[in-house]
Structure 1
Amino acid sequence: MNFSKSINSIVALRNSLVYIITSILFVFLFSCNQLPNEVEESLKLAGNNRDELQKVLDHYQKPEDSLKLRAAYFLISEQVPYGVFTDSRNDQLLNDYFNAFEDSLAVYFCKESDKNIEERKDIINSIIKKYQLNHGKVFRNKWSLKRDIHHITGAFLIENIDYAFKAWDLPWAKHYSFDEFCNYILPYREGKHYPNSWRKYFFEEFMGFRDSLGQERDPLVAAEKLKKYLGNMKFISGGLYDAPECLLSSVMYKYKITGNCVSISTFIQEVLRAQGIATVEVLVNKFGHTAKDHVSNGVLDNNGSWHYFDGIPSAPGSLNIKDEVTKLYRKKPIVRNELTQTKGEAFNHLNLFGWEDITKDLIDCYDISINLKDLYCKNLPIAYLCIFDNLSHGGWVPIDWGEIDKDLRKVTFKDIGGKEVVYLVMVYDEFNNLKPVSSPFVLKNDGAIDYLNIKRGVDDRREMIIDRKFSPKQHLNKIAKNLIEGRFEGANSPDFKKREVLYTLKNITDVNSKLIEIEPKNYQYYRFVFPKIKDSLYYDIAELGFGNLTSNSFRKENGDYISSKGINATIQNSYFDDDLLSYTTIYRKEGVLKAYMPSLKEVCVDIDKEVWIGIDLGSSKSISQLYLCPRTDKNSIYPKMDYELLYWDNRWVSTGIRNTNQGYLKYDDLPSNTLYWLRNYTEGKEERIFTYEDGKQIWW
């Protein structure tokens, strides 16, 4: 006999004997209707909904259902009391929205492929566009939160338990212990979806897939094949990024659409759990250069080890982690009374109840000890390691905690992963405000600490020229370079048969606006001609203009907008709308040439292969300035906007609010070797800290 098969058989027999003996004892101990204290507490908390929970307990009173009764105890005591859901079921707009998906995508059901992925995307975008024009931002309505314990039904819990046990009986799931089953297969929901029959739906929907696996016993193999199976279904990403609370997994599967990482992670988890694969959520908390989070998943193997992955097409073990990741966590079962008062306070500030730190399991990390310089913390037990987040009050957000050694006046933070990231140690005062107790510092790649101790001396002052408030986005710079070899032309006839090339783009280094001076020309028609469109490249422009300098500022001429064949008036107008954050992209995919405006979901298909956008001035007029702005993040310096530069001196110190008509801000006599933060009070949310070295902004 094969040795590994023999071992598996012994393990399976052992588990079966344990379950039989445990079940007999369980029935004996609770045959007199004696309920565990935690279950009785939940029944009391349920109030008027107690009868629904009691239905579940009454349903599983037969001896052969003893394990299912234990599973019911687990859910009623460990999940139902803590669960909340977002109530949006009665919202007619949401129903209409998904009904529109149903009507428009029905012809593609079970026929999704690369050949129709663009068609389906256009349909999704057009529905979203219509919805937004009538009702505003999709899924930004205010839903109400409700507690599971007051609304969940007995029928739903019974269905969830029965189908979970069917999944546990599958060949690759039988090795999981009862605890593993309860914690990583049985739970009826993650996130804030209202309780719905996702488990039954996915169990029955994937029957054919399970048959194809035969007697496969490795859950990793089953998970990898399932994810590839899903990847081959050609899911599309529509405008559903803001929909984690009400975008159900069954909806995502039915229409083959995805939302943000939270929606995708929940979808993956529910599909895998419905097939008996123990699955968990993984939290990346946080990226040190953005302060953003990310959610992915992990699968439990035959040996009790976790394997992590990301997204629908990827396989287990393929989670891509960057150096700037500061901490990683895995969802863990809530253990009653496990938290000390100190840990409870820390987890409350970090919002990490129910998460287990797995940073050292996945990335290189360091324990860092920081001397505390402020006596303010002498009576406080906890200090917090913080990173910059311009959207947080005061600009800092905690990512980890440590107990203060009062004798040594220092604190140690365990397993910190974010390298080349700026940190600051802070404490919460009696008013629940964060206060600094160290200088900012950079955690270097080798684990060394590089403090930023401000220099205020006369010889340490410096002049600074600042041209951005946020670090350059390299993908936008790369896309902008696709416009090289595009050209501006002038003519006196709309067919441009007798045209003059006014300027050809030879270099684009950034996404800032370009004002190009030319010898004055007199034409009625002016246009920008795109370079030859290549497959899989994007040609993005936010704004075009033709005009002259008046009082040292650009004044563009007005006229009727014109273009090459196939481009409609909405797309034409987008190039001259004075909105730098709206842009239109030209691209060709699978031989189809398109113009697409994301902000309005506007699409033009099968446009002429020579793409150009221009203006008819009505008569011949002199033009001496050409204006082009590639797709931009609008994080540079612009006229008529109010800016404030702050620098760190144990707090943020303002240098005053100012504006400029130039593309930069100039400051004199600033302290050095510290952090700077440029704020824009006119518009925009993206802002990052920087240092200043050799006349350049260094972003953190």
Structure 2
Amino acid sequence: MKKIVSLIVLISLIACGPHEFEPPENVKAILEKSDNNRTELERVIQHYKETGDVMKEEAAYFLLGNMDEQSYAIFKLVDSSGNKIDFDVLDYEDYNAMRNGWDVIEEEKGTINFKVDTLIKDYEVISSDYLINNIDLAFEAWNKNPWAKHLSFDQFCEYVLPYRSSNEPLEDWRSYFINELSWVKDSMQNPSDPVEAVKWVNNYIKSWFRFDPRYYEHPTDQGLKEIMQNKMGRCEDMTNIAIYAMRALALPVMSDFTPYWANTGNNHAWNAVIDNNDSVIIFMGGEANPGDYKLGNKLAKVYRKTFDRQEKSLAAKKKEWEKLPPYLSKNSIKDVTSDYVPVSDIKIELAKGIPDSTVHSYICVFNAGEWRAIDYGRIWGTRAQYYGLGRGIAYLPAFYVDKEIIPASNAIILTDSGKVVNLIPDSKNKITIKLHSTTKKITKKSTDYVDETFFNKGAVYTLFYWNDKWVELAKQKAADGPLVFKNVPSNAFYWLVEEGSRKDERLFTIDKDGKQVWW
């Protein structure tokens, strides 16, 4: 992003005259792509040249120059043959009913997935009136609200100015919330405190919005109209509604996320606000205020959604022909893991060989029954280096080939102290293991000193160990006590899966006392 860093620069820009301030190269590239909508985009530039407002012209360049990835995607649910399937999460009374309904469809149709049906690029459809209104209202809020006085122009551009939060439909949320929340300033004890302002706005959102897990299978992030109609959604919707309401008032609010939890299934997104000391304080839109919100699971990676292109992102560096894993294919995310947890840089020998034409390797966490890429590493010779990884986590170095995760080395543990421990299964030194659960539980002894177990009586459980793939060892039917497996290779990751489950069970190791250690 171009930066206005001094009054001298501003004066020199003004002195050049409105027609001598050339658009940056990234803006010119967007204009070339915009085809029939080019006139609308050029009208925005011309408007601010004619008004002589250099800062607003620079803000327009920020939005236009970073518009390449900004879009709204319309999805459809299809079966393995590509046939469209009608599915509405609100047709089901709760999450379990929805999941059961999904399973019924898959029993009849086979595997079903959401696919992009139509991708609407912003630069192809956005109007000059929409952009000009967004810019003018953002500047007005920045200039008049005391809690925004500490923001630099760069912070304003990144955390107040953008007209969208994710891939939701384009709507004028800024005008709506400026009117809806006009009372906030007069309600505050300290109007210069952005954190207090966030609390007031978030309490307002909490009064009518609620989290609903059915929206895990809602294919797009909701826009303002849909959120106001349904008044519920998943965590991405919660971060979006907070961003709409708060950025409308020039509160510097953002969305951070982890693509995959490191010690459980699913992913998560949440909000953060920049206080007067430029510290970042997390909260959850529509649920928990700054100072009250805690993240409950382990973080391998945390990224921040940005509007501007991040040159350090993998998407900005990749070769044109290179295919990237989900979540790493966007160039508008910034790694902020070290702001949240202790991290380590590690080097790994790629012991499994390197496929032809491979530029990057990936580091994966185990989530919902799969190893999933959460970051990348540059390959140097036969080694890969990965930066800023959360500690106390199981990882798998891997390649991404034909949309598949391929092991590049042994699975590892990055310990709490930052040490790398390779887990290489030892079939010569086999052990007997006694298992009490498929996931982390708080175990206790009964009055007869027998450890409590957490199995469904009569269910069949399969034990796997990791050796470049999940290798089946044995099956057992659960009774009243623990499950005991003999002749098990030592020094491995294990995975105990109930027959018919959704593969949410966690991998584990066995410590020197024979206890399950969860990862």
- Normalising TM by the smaller chain, what interval? 0.7 to 0.9
1:189 shift after superposition: 0.5
1:288 shift after superposition: 1.5
1:223 shift after superposition: 2.3
The Cα offsets for residues 500-527 of structure 1, whole Å up to 9 and x where unpaired, read as xxxxxxx996665xxxxxxxxxxxxxxx
Distance 2:333 2:221 in 1: 23
SS at match of 2:298: coil
Distance 1:329 1:649 in 2: 30
1:61 shift after superposition: 3.9
Match of 1:199 in 2: 174
SS at match of 1:50: helix
Cα distance, 1:141–1:82 mapped onto 2, change above 3 Å: closer
Matching residue's letter, 1:418: R
SS at match of 2:44: helix
Q: In the comparison of the two structures, how many residue pairs are matched?
A: 486
Distance 1:323 1:341 in 2: 27
Cα distance, 1:683–1:415 mapped onto 2, change above 3 Å: closer
Match of 2:439 in 1: 471
SS at match of 2:339: helix
Cα distance, 1:341–1:244 mapped onto 2, change above 3 Å: closer
Distance 1:41 1:678 in 2: 52
Cα distance, 1:196–1:87 mapped onto 2, change above 3 Å: farther
Matching residue's letter, 1:423: Y
Match of 2:518 in 1: 699
Match of 1:675 in 2: 493
Distance 1:327 1:43 in 2: 35
Is the Cα–Cα contact under 8 Å of residues 471 and 699 in structure 1 kept in the other structure? yes
Match of 1:216 in 2: 191
Identity rate, percent: 28
1:445 shift after superposition: 2.5
Match of 2:72 in 1: 85
SS at match of 2:237: helix
SS at match of 2:154: helix
The Cα offsets for residues 274-322 of structure 1, whole Å up to 9 and x where unpaired, read as 0011122112343211253211122223344433323435333555245
Distance 1:49 1:187 in 2: 19
Note the residue ranges of structure 1 that are not aligned, 5 or more in a row.
1-14, 101-123, 479-506, 513-635
Matched, 1:300 2:278: no
Match of 1:176 in 2: 151
Cα distance, 1:27–1:54 mapped onto 2, change above 3 Å: farther
SS at match of 1:60: helix
Is the Cα–Cα contact under 8 Å of residues 87 and 144 in structure 1 kept in the other structure? yes
Matches within 5 A, 1:430-579: 433-457=404-428, 460-463=429-432, 470-471=438-439
Matched, 1:414 2:414: no
Match of 2:109 in 1: none
1:184 shift after superposition: 1.3
SS at match of 1:71: helix
Normalising by the residue count of structure 1, what TM-score does the alignment of the two structures yield?
A: 0.59
SS at match of 2:286: coil
Match of 2:345 in 1: 367
Match of 2:83 in 1: none
SS at match of 2:27: helix
Cα distance, 1:240–1:152 mapped onto 2, change above 3 Å: farther
Cα distance, 1:250–1:278 mapped onto 2, change above 3 Å: farther
1:670 shift after superposition: 3.0
Aligned mate of 2:298, from 303, 306, 324: 324
Distance 1:681 1:17 in 2: 62
1:65 shift after superposition: 3.7
Matched, 1:384 2:362: yes
Matching residue's letter, 2:419: A
Aligned mate of 1:684, from 494, 502, 509: 502
Matching residue's letter, 2:56: K
Is the Cα–Cα contact under 8 Å of residues 260 and 267 in structure 2 kept in the other structure? yes
Matches within 5 A, 1:651-666: 651-655=469-473, 660=477
Match of 1:357 in 2: 335
Distance 2:496 2:514 in 1: 16
The Cα offsets for residues 553-594 of structure 1, whole Å up to 9 and x where unpaired, read as xxxxxxxxxxxxxxxxxxxxxxxxxxxxxxxxxxxxxxxxxx
Match of 1:494 in 2: none
Distance 1:300 1:24 in 2: 31
Normalising by the residue count of structure 2, what TM-score does the alignment of the two structures yield?
A: 0.77
1:452 shift after superposition: 2.3
Matching residue's letter, 1:386: C
Larger Rg: 1
